[in-house]
Amino acid sequence: MFDKNVALLSEPASGDAEKHVQILMVEDDYQDVQLLKALLSQQEYCLDAMTHAQSISEALDCLRSSGDSIELVILDLSLPDAQGLDAYHKICSSCSEVPIIIHSGNIDESIAIEAVQRGAQDYLVKGKFDGHLLGRTIRYALERHQQYLELQSEKLKLQAITAALQHSNQQLEVTNQALEQLATIDELTQIYNRRRFDEVLWAEWRRLAREDSPLSLIMCDVDHFKAYNDTYGHPAGDACLQQVAAAIANIVQRPADLVARYGGEEFAFILPNTDLKGATHIAKDIQAAVQRLNLPHLASSTGDQVTLSLGVASMIPHQDVSPVQLVEAADRALYTAKRLGRNQTQVSLPDLESAITEVRQASHKAKEFCQTLKHARSSLARSLEPAKQQRVPQLRW
């Protein structure tokens, strides 16, 4: 049980000056209660707003039933059901948001310091303070606590802002990933575009150069596609490319494989860790997949349906060589397939590629030699110029 207004030793000075602070006094000593009330009254605190509890259990009941109206606790540390800082801990754990002033007969300074370190607003030793000091202690405790609450409020706002920013950043990241994905997808066929093809080709070239493993490339071209557009119209041409793309995209299943629209009616496959034999096998599957579509193409001189020409090339990448060589090799094979009648697969032979490289290198060296020879002739001509200027005496016999 707790009672109110147990004793009133002096009246407040005036109604206007009364300080209405909801104080819970936790004190089991009647004399101490009277003394505190007298001092508070002298400082014009309204005793009607004061509640008294004689034990920790009564104090906890009071705090629960007060509905957060208690603004300050003055706590004795020697109570029937708790002693020392245990009393403080029990009250504090129940109402951490209410400022607590310790009012104790214990003059042990270490206890006072520890109480303040644990969050008590102040430590008053019984009989060692007057009304003025008590009033000031209460005022400072309330002010500090108000500042603490404001800081807590700002901290919560800051946390909310931080959480909102993190959420925004996450959404931005998702949006960026979606945009990045969109930037690498061909709008018409919904397979990867040329930009993605170039990125992956260079990345795989560098990776497989380190692994000393083959990288294969298949270039495909829809045969007589201009004639298809001229015959069936561009919307039908677009639909044709979409169907071809969907059919050939299903051929490769490994995560590192990539199929892209290289440009116009041309498609390209990047096949890491695949040799020429494996790539040629895949090229046959691609060609067969398009044949199974059975798309009519009456304007084709190759057949009566849409067909593909394919060029296959394979190399073991080297860090000092550009992957453009692989693209050019596959392109040459594709050109050969077209030249030999289309609707077929041709491979770029490694021996042929080596020969082409050697011829290019020899051609380059020959050009350099010719240039050197030309400079030498010019130098010789300049050195002979003074001699030419001199008149040569005509010999007469």
Min dist. Cβ of residue 76 to Mg ion (A): 4
Q: Which is nearer to Mg ion, 54 or 216 (CB)?
A: 54
Q: Which is nearer to Mg ion, 30 or 369 (CB)?
A: 30
Nearer to Mg ion (CB atom), residue 54 or residue 274: 54
Is residue 353 at the binding interface for Mg ion, with CB under 5 A as the rule?
no
For Mg ion, the closer CB: 57 or 242: 57
Site for Mg ion contains 34 (CB under 5 A) = no
Q: Show the 3-state SS of 224-268.
A: CHHHHHHHHCHHHHHHHHHHHHHHHHCCCCCCCCEEEEEECCEEE
* Min CB(28)–Mg ion separation in Å: 5
Helix then strand then coil, in percent of the chain rounded to 5, is: 55, 15, 30
Nearer to Mg ion among residue 104 and residue 121 (C-beta): 104
Tell me how far apart the alpha carbons of residues 196 and 180 are, in angstroms, rounded to a whole number: 10
- Tokens (6 digits) for 253: 């299943």
The token pair at 269 is 């496959």
* Distance of closest approach, residue 35 Cβ to Mg ion, in angstroms: 13
Contacting range for Mg ion; rule: CB under 5 A; set: 78-86, 130-138, 343-351, 388-396: 78-86
How far is residue 272's CA from residue 279's CA, in Å, rounded to a whole number? 10
Say which amino acid occupies 68.
D
Q: List C-alpha distances in Å: 243 to 178, 268, 354.
A: 25, 16, 37
The single-letter DSSP state of residue 270 is E
Nearest distance from C-beta of residue 82 to Mg ion, angstroms: 10
Q: Which residue is nearest to Mg ion (CB)?
A: 78
Place of tokens 């040329």: 194
Candidates 73-81, 128-136, 214-222, 328-336; binding stretch for Mg ion (CB under 5 A): 73-81
How many residues touch Mg ion (CB under 5 A)?
Answer: 4
**In this chain, which of 58, 71, 76, 186 binds Mg ion, going by CB under 5 A?**
76
Q: How many Å apart are CA 46 and CA 271, to the nearest integer?
A: 87
DSSP labels, 68-103? T---EEEE-SEETTEETHHHHHHHHHH-TTS-EEEE
Q: Which two tokens stand for residue 354?
A: 């080596």
> What distance lies between CA 231 and its chain's CA centroid?
49
What do you get for the CA distance between the two ends of the chain, in Å?
A: 157
Pairing of strands 72-75, 23-26: parallel
CB of 143 to Mg ion, least distance (A): 28
User: How far apart are CB 159 and Mg ion at their closest, in Å?
Assistant: 41
The reply on whether position 78 binds Mg ion by CB under 5 A is yes
Stretch that binds Mg ion, among 22-30, 223-231, 270-278, 298-306 (CB under 5 A): 22-30
Cβ 27 to Mg ion shortest distance, Å: 6
Minimum Å gap between C-beta 26 and Mg ion is 9
Residues of this chain, 178-197, that bind Mg ion according to CB under 5 A: none
**Which residue of 18, 28, 114, 198 would you call a contact of Mg ion, by CB under 5 A?**
28
Q: Which residues bind Mg ion (CB under 5 A)?
A: 28-29, 76, 78
